[in-house]
Amino acid sequence: MADVTNEASFSSADDAVATVDATGTVTAVGAGETEITVSYETETTSVAVTVVEEEDGGGEQ
């Protein structure tokens, strides 16, 4: 099976929650839910993504 990543297109339904670049790398932006969609030729699929706000669980005191 060939790697077709460079030939696929990726999109996020809500860029305020998460973005996706041309290689399919998803980056969290803000808390919420969105859907990442990938298309290649006649095939399309989506995946739900949930971004949660980071809890202040440590660091400096």
Q: What is the pLDDT along the chain (61 residues), one digit of tens a residue?
A: 899 999 999 999 999 999 999 999 999 999 999 999 999 999 999 999 999 988 776 556 5
What is the model's pLDDT at position 57? 62
Residues 58 and 18: their CA atoms lie apart, in Å, by 25
What is the model's pLDDT at position 1? 86
- DSSP assignment of 1-61 equals ----GGG-EEEES-TTTEEE-TT--EEE-SSEEEEEEEEETTEEEEEEEEE-PPP---S--
What is the model's pLDDT at position 60? 60
Token pair for 16: 């305020």
What is the model's pLDDT at position 45? 97
